[in-house]
Amino acid sequence: MESSLNLKPGRVLIGIGGGIAAYKVCEIISTLAKSGVEVRAILTDSAQQFITPLTVATLSRHPAYTDENFWQPVHKRPLHIELGEWADVFVIAPLTANTLGKLAYGLADNLLTNTVLASTCPILLAPAMNTDMWEQLTVQRNWRELLIDKRYHSAGPGAGILACDRIGAGRMAEPSEILPQITSLLHTNGKRDLAGKRVLISAGGTQEYLDPVRFIGNPSTGKMGLALALAAMHRGAVVTLVHGTLTASVPSLAGGIIKTIPVVSAEQMHHAMRECLPDADLIVMSAAVADVKPADYSAEKLPKRSLPTSLPLAPVPDIVAELASLKQPHQKIIGFAAQTGDIVTPALDKLYKKKLDAIAANPIDQADSGFGSDNNRAVFLDNQGRHIEIQPCSKLKMAHLLFDFVQTISMANGK
């Protein structure tokens, strides 16, 4: 069965609370609008002490809403109803202690809180306040009570130096941490379909050393593996990431923590994946693992004159094939195949020879895809004969599409 997926942007409503961290929301709004997402924004009265409706309107390409709009009957329908029904995702940032308390008790005395009660979409909360305020028992109680409702998702807070010069918890999550969660929520509509699952992911490239400074490697940056880890975490999974070379840090905010196991060589990755395999429900091998290594290793740097004119090579473990041979009936293993030219034929060969449940074939010779790119394109194939072409999209979006595909394998197998 062959099909193709086309991707569409969504609609994001931003509720801005009163706090110095409100300036960070400008970057979020601007980035979303530039990416084609429709953005609307509500500013509370206190938010306008920090940023202006004009700034927000300019960045969002749409008039910003305030309580002044709420209380004036100039709309065909009540404004809070229209906004609540319009939004695919509702983000409240910064979330103040005051608004948190209102939400926890279902109170509504302004446009922002009324719109919350008039909406049904997932809501992403990004708290920001002084450490002593954040650690108050009443604030923590409100926070825990609110998150019992599955509509609410948390982004932070993090820890660091605050505007009051205090160092501690309460710092609003950075835009770079909030934006991926918005992307995830737009795709999943807030579902946590991997809750209770343990997902094991390999990422990055391995390096096979000839001496302490020279190695056989590849251009992998680990971006696809990081996107898979984020997507799995956003969907509720407990994530373990075994990684080689990465060009970015592993996210630890955005509602969860990713366990990381750094490795260098294929042999080290093999050992780590074998150790983690028994506890995993889903294994995704997105790492670019070396196929061979230098047969001999020198513990000291070889002088240039001593470098061999031909390099004897030795095989490295076939990690994905071994994991597939050891997997239990409840486990699923997904592979990746980076290819040039015809990507489907070799990917199918790898899928069946190594007894995988599914595989993602990537064209690394296409523009803006493959190694080092922020975007990707692929063909997903499974052992039931299904074939889905994924059009160019962000690697985070592709990660979600892959997990969607994995879920269809489960349904097809009656599991």
- Catalytic positions are 164
Token representation of residue 122: 């997932």
Q: Beta partners for 215?
A: 209
Q: What angle do CA 253, 271, 395 make, to 5 degrees?
A: 40
CA distance 80 to 111: 6
Q: How far is CA 404 from the centre of its chain?
A: 14
Full DSSP string of 267-319: HHHHHHHHHHGGG-SEEEE--B--SEEES---SSPPPGGGS-SS--EEE---H
CA distance 193 to 406: 11
Full DSSP string of 307-374: S-SS--EEE---HHHHHHHH--TT-EEEEEEEESS--HHHHHHHHHHTT-SEEEEEETTSTT-STT-S
CA distance 269 to 61: 47
CA distance 292 to 323: 19
* 375: nearest Cα among 386, 363, 383: 363
SS3 409: helix
Return the half-sphere exposure (C-beta side, CA atoms, 13 A cut-off) of residue 38: 8
Residue 280 CA: distances (Å) to CA of 237, 277, 327, 371: 11, 5, 9, 26
SS3 137: helix
| Bond from prior residue into 94 cis (ω within 30 degrees of 0) | yes
